[in-house]
Chain A
């Protein structure tokens, strides 16, 4: 099975061929590197940009204005912060012009911890990005969703922020991408750039098929009856694993992969919480004004009389950064043990 980096690459190839994507660009996105996480290797519309994040977002907006369909990359979301007012501008262009202009553009950027990236390669961006109206925001947790979400993003008429959990980019999927060959080594030979001289190399693309994960739709990863766990990105597989582990202890947790942060699948959350009466939101961004806090507010507002326990948030500590040492990273953002503890505690709570 493809890993997430390969899955996104294949989706981008599909989008170049079928969805009118004209420019896939950013720092080191074009040859020879094809992206620091190899996500853009072998694609035909890639090019290397100056090392200028504001320029990257601005030019993506301009390309979209002139009828192109760009996919721009910010190399690490840690470096997107100097573009915030341009992200705001992209998000308000349609509204400010009363619908005169719209910007069909995708910005993708690796997010989160998990590769021992220290202070400036471990940031999350979901809390900040969900503060910027006018965008759609997605974050996959497995290769097939990564493929389907990128295809959906490239069909949108408005800006989409595509967050790539960097800890998951190298993880292989459990479900086949439509068109991907059975043999992983063959896939790698076809679409991974070789080491050494790549100047003559060309990707050989499998016959990929359309597959969409609709923006705004979550997924029940594991059905359960006692506790709802809502997560996305790096912490989602940990939540799924925790639920499996806890099943043996007699705790039956339902796990929802939100997949889209804006718009998000409130109906899925609502139905689940009405059933379980208990909900834990899990993500790794810093916990103060965290997206999960919004979800808790809405849970309290709309589902109060269905609740058997206070809704909980397990998120990253409110720290200026994630320290490099293993001990520091582990203590800063939710790990499997933290999630197990949080679910156990919530499941045991009595009104």
Chain B
């Protein structure tokens, strides 16, 4: 009697050492940056904090896999306010985020006008993050449409939380991305931390997985563990490769943690009951003999010192002059 063959998913090859070391470095940089931003807020050097501690495994991977540049040949990112690790992985200097927290005139993303974590960088196709939840999902198909027409392999990536998917803009994104007349090269990401601000998703959302909603549109979908750095990297890599090549949408839901609560509005204190992706990463590096505890501590010390110095610098910089309120209502780029 022959037994049915066991169909086993082959174990994915682990990521190579250099990549893991690089990811770890970026994750630490991002964590230290967010913790510094929180500290600045608590010390009165900013009015509000919101950011992405707990999402570093996923967000660093995303930044490392994006095709960076300006215009439709490159990837567009329509992000929400928890994306600092992606920006750092793309090569952004952390001082910009500190300047935005301190709302200095030198804030490169908004000139002192917007909250922390509200990045914008046109030269890298980073669309401006804005406060209204989910609007980026209505805008993103527009850049993807131009990319489809342009040819090449540039894609659009949009990110946001789970609670926001109740907004109509999420449905808009699913519909516009999968029109049979013109399916779009767009990676629709939902980082699911199981919370709105204080409202748990399980009381509000009957769908088993947010990603399942893509199935009705014939979209490829997947729900992944975004707290596992290797899973996050490999799943993102696969999803991005699919969208790049097939020029079709993919809905990816990543389960992530929220390690300092929603924002400064809810205290911004460390929570101990959620998985910490940086710990997961460090345990793995140690287990595999890639880095020692002492080496990892040295990475953290290096970033802590560097970012503390940047924060000191940002704190010295002037606020925007009052008369600048009139600047940039319209474009000066004619």
- A residues apposed to B, CB below 8 Å: 22-23, 47-50, 52, 54-55, 57-68, 70, 82, 85-86, 89, 93-102, 133-134, 157-158
How many chain B residues touch the partner (CB < 8 A)?
A: 47
Which of B120, B142, B330 touches A134 (beta carbons < 8 Å)? B330
Chain A residues positioned under 8 Å from B328 (CB to CB): 94-95, 97-99
With both beta carbons as reference points, the residue of chain B lying nearest to A134 in the complex is identified as B329
Most buried by B among A47, A94, A98: A98
Interchain CB contact under 8 A, B109 and A63:
no
Complex Cα–Cα for A11 and B133 (A): 37
Contact A60 B142 (CB under 8 A): yes
CA A64 to CA B145, docked complex, whole Å: 11
A65 B142 Cβ-Cβ under 8 A:
yes
Asked whether B12 is an interface residue with its Cβ less than 8 Å from the other chain, the reply is: no
CB neighbours of B150 from chain A (8 A): 66
Q: Is the CB of A93 within 8 A of B128?
A: yes
Determine the distance from Cα of A157 to Cα of B156 in the docked complex, in whole angstroms: 23
Q: How far is the CA of A54 from the CA of B118 in the complex (A)?
A: 22
- Contact indicator A157/B128 (Cβ below 8 Å): no
Question: From B130, which residue of chain A is reached at the shortest CB distance?
Answer: A89
Alpha-carbon separation in the docked complex, A52 to B138 (Å): 10
Cβ contact of B329, chosen from A61, A65, A133, cutoff 8 A: A133
A23, A55, A102: which has the most chain B beta carbons within 10 Å? A55
B150-209: which residues lie under 8 A (CB-CB) from chain A? 150, 156, 168-169, 172, 175-176, 179, 181
A81 to chain B, nearest CB (A): 13
CB of A55 within 8 A of CB of B175, answer yes
Residue numbers in A under 8 Å from B293 (CB-CB): none
Q: Considering the chains assembled together, what is the distance between the CA atoms of A58 and B142 in angstroms?
A: 7
Residues of A within 8 A of B332 (CB): 99
Question: Would B330 and A59 count as touching, CB distance under 8 A?
Answer: no
Q: Is B2 an interface residue (CB 8 A)?
A: no
Of residues 102 through 136 on chain B, the ones whose CB sits less than 8 Å from some CB of chain A are 107, 109-111, 113-114, 118, 120-122, 127-128, 130, 132, 135
| B285 CB within 8 Å of chain A | no
Contact A67 to B146, CB < 8 A, known contacts A58-B138, A58-B172? yes
B37 interfacial contact with A, CB 8 Å: no
Q: Is B140 an interface residue (CB 8 A)?
A: yes
**Contact partner of A99 among B139, B145, B146, B331, CB < 8 A?**
B331
On chain B, the residues within 8 Å of A58 by CB distance are 135, 137-142, 169, 172
Query: CB-CB < 8 A to B113: which residues of A?
Result: 95-96, 98
Q: CB within 8 Å of A: which residues of B?
A: 71-72, 76, 78, 107, 109-111, 113-114, 118, 120-122, 127-128, 130, 132, 135, 137-147, 150, 156, 168-169, 172, 175-176, 179, 181, 327-334
Nearest chain B CB to A183 CB, angstrom units: 37
Find A98's partner among B146, B147, B327 (CB 8 Å cutoff). B327
- The answer to whether A85 and B135 touch across the interface, beta carbons within 8 angstroms, is yes
**Judging by beta carbons under 8 Å apart, are A66 and B175 in contact?**
no
Contact of B141 with A59 in the complex, beta carbons under 8 Å: yes
Determine the distance from Cα of A47 to Cα of B331 in the docked complex, in whole angstroms. 28
Query: What are 16 A-B pairs with beta-carbon distances under 8 A?
Result: A55-B175, A55-B176, A60-B142, A61-B142, A62-B156, A65-B143, A66-B150, A95-B328, A96-B114, A97-B120, A99-B327, A99-B333, A101-B127, A134-B329, A157-B333, A158-B331
Q: Tally inter-chain residue pairs, CB-CB below 8 A.
A: 141
Q: Do residues B146 and A68 form an inter-chain contact, with CB atoms below 8 A?
A: yes
Which residues on the A side are within 8 Å of B175 (C-beta)? 50, 52, 55
Q: For the complex formed, measure the closest distance between the CB of B220 and the CB atoms of chain A, giving whole angstroms.
A: 21
A-side contacts of B138, CB under 8 Å:
54-55, 57-59, 86
The answer to whether A101 and B128 have CB atoms under 8 Å apart is yes
B331 x A102 contact (CB < 8 A): yes
Complex CA gap A64/B176 in Å reads: 16
Q: How far is the CA of A18 from the CA of B142 in the complex (A)?
A: 22
Q: Which residues of A contact B110 (CB under 8 A)?
A: 96-98
Contact A62 B144 (CB under 8 A): yes
Known pairs A48-B181, A59-B141, A99-B331 / 5 extra A-B pairs, C-beta < 8 Å: A58-B142, A62-B141, A67-B146, A96-B113, A99-B327
A23, A59, A65, A97: the one within 8 Å of B176 (CB): A59
- Compute how far the CA of A100 lies from the CA of B111 in the bound complex, rounded to whole angstroms: 10
Task: Establish whether residues A102 and B145, one from each chain, have CB atoms under 8 Å apart when the complex forms.
Answer: no
A94 to B78, CA, bound (A): 16
Contact A62 B128 (CB under 8 A): no
Contacts of B118 on A, CB cut-off 8 Å?
96
- In the bound assembly, the distance between CA atoms of A102 and B137 in angstroms comes to 19
Partner of B168, one of A23, A54, A64, A100: A54
Q: Given A95-B328, A99-B327, A100-B122, A65–B139 Cβ distance below 8 Å?
A: yes
Q: Which 4 A-B residue pairings sit nearest by Cβ, starting from the closest?
A: A62-B142, A58-B138, A98-B111, A102-B331
- How many angstroms from the CA of A158 to the CA of B331 in the assembled complex? 7
Residues of chain B lying within 8 A (CB to CB) of residue A99 = 111, 327-328, 331-333
A94 with B141, Cβ < 8 A, contacts A65-B127, A101-B122 known? no
